[in-house]
């Protein structure tokens, strides 16, 4: 699990500057290690359109052995037979969902020690902790937690794989790794750029450097 979390690209059609299939294809070439289909926000696809785009993105991931995770939408995750699902605190009872999805990857958002502890107890495979920094991508985030939140979780013996998320880019990712995260999750640092391949390549290089000099 930990090795997949190094550069976790999260995106939906509304986040992309150009065709989402092209964006993901380039991001995979650039070196992302995991993908989350998060079709959410103003203008997001729904129903059949959401399913069809999901299928295209999933096949890109399958061709490249990249885990394909669906955000929030359990029915879509099961219909696509996705590799896993990511849910927030408001997306339902984690232990019920764990039973429902069997051995698929289960990611849970956590904003503090109590939510992280709860997620571990109910069988999450990783937790997403944030927001690390200010972000304009998700409008209803909790207040900025910062990399210190990850450090605090590790100091309280939270051993589960952790990925930081929120406002992360090449310039500010090192503190997130140094705080004890196994990787970074991000949207606009790849999806909003004209050259997603180059963006992903620069990001994974910085991430690997951060681990080497830890
Ligand atoms: C999904 C999510 N959860 C916490 S912040 C965020 C948005 C991250 O987007 P960006 O990487 O563009 O800041
Ligand atoms: C709200 C979210 C928080 N964390 C993550 C992830 F990075 F995948 F863990 N994904 C989300 N959609
Ligand atoms: Mg959610």
Top mutation candidate among 33, 106, 107, 166 for ligand 2, by most atoms within 8 Å of CB: 107
Q: Is the reported ipTM for this assembly greater than 0.95? A: yes
Low-confidence ranges of the chain (pLDDT < 70): none
Question: Tell me, what's the pLDDT at 91?
Answer: 81
Whether the link from the prior residue into 69 is cis, omega within 30° of 0, is: no
CA of 26 to the centre of ligand 2 (A): 21
Question: Tell me, what's the pLDDT at 70?
Answer: 98
Question: Which tens digits make up the pLDDT trace of 132-184?
Answer: 999 999 998 899 999 999 999 999 999 999 999 999 999 999 999 999 999 99
**Ligand 1 contacts CB of residue 188 (under 6 A):** yes
Question: Tell me, what's the pLDDT at 213?
Answer: 78
Question: Tell me, what's the pLDDT at 49?
Answer: 98
In order of 57, 110, 115, 124, the CA distances from 118 in angstroms are 31, 9, 5, 9
CA of 197 to the centre of ligand 2 (A): 21
Name the residue with the closest Cα to ligand 2, atom 4.
Answer: 128
Give catalytic status of residue 138 as yes or no. Answer: yes
Domains of the chain: 2-212 (3.20.20.70)
User: pTM score > 0.95 for this model?
Assistant: yes
Unique residue bearing structure tokens 């990399």 = 147
**Ligand 1 contacts CB of residue 131 (under 6 A):** yes
Question: Tell me, what's the pLDDT at 10?
Answer: 98
Question: Tell me, what's the pLDDT at 93?
Answer: 87
């Amino acid at each position: 699990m930990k090795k997949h979390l190094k550069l976790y690209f999260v995106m939906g059609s509304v986040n992309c500057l150009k065709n989402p299939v092209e964006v993901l294809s380039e991001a995979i070439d650039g070196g992302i290690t995991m993908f989350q289909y998060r079709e959410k926000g103003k203008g997001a696809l729904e129903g059949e359109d959401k399913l069809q785009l999901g299928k295209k993105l999933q096949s890109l991931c399958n061709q490249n052995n990249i885990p394909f995770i669906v955000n929030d939408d359990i029915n879509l995750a099961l219909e696509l037979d996705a590799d896993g699902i990511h849910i927030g605190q408001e997306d339902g009872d984690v232990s019920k969902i764990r039973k429902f999805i069997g051995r698929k990857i289960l990611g849970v958002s956590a904003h503090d020690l109590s939510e992280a502890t709860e997620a571990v107890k109910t069988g999450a495979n990783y937790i997403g902790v944030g927001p690390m920094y200010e972000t304009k991508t998700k409008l209803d985030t909790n207040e900025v937690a910062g990399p210190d939140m990850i450090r605090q979780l590790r100091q309280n013996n939270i051993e589960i794989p952790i990925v930081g998320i929120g406002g992360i880019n090449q310039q500010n990712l090192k503190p997130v790794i140094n705080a004890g995260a196994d990787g970074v999750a991000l949207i606009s640092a790849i999806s909003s750029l004209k050259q997603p391949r180059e963006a992903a390549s620069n990001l994974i290089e910085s991430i690997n450097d951060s681990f080497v000099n830890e």
